[in-house]
Amino acid sequence: MLWSRWGKDWRKFTTPARIAGRATRGVAAGDVILLHDADFYSARDSHRRTAAALVLILAELKLRKLDTVLPV
């Protein structure tokens, strides 16, 4: 699956708010948001910032009335 939005969540000095802002800026129906679930290839503890950003991302998508589908 190809992605169309990303939060650049691997960056060392990013924050959950910045990740969420990048991931949802201009987001539209059908977009795929790329996030990472590990930090062995990115900044230490980046997965924790990603998890915190996910809450913000889902809230923003709900406000915009965009449905979410999580891969299985």
pLDDT in tens, 35-53: 988 878 788 889 999 999 9
Structural domains counted in the chain: 1
Q: Phi and psi of 55, rounded to 5°?
A: -60, -45
In a domain, 70, yes or no: no
| Distance (Å, whole) CA 21 – CA 69 | 19
In a domain, 23, yes or no: yes
In a domain, 19, yes or no: yes
Handedness of CA 45, 51, 54, 55 (dihedral sign): negative
Task: Confirm whether pTM is higher than 0.75.
Answer: yes
In a domain, 26, yes or no: yes
Q: In terms of pLDDT, which residue wins out, 36 or 72?
A: 36
In a domain, 28, yes or no: yes
Residue 30 structural domain:
5-63
Average pLDDT over residues 7-20: 94
In a domain, 72, yes or no: no
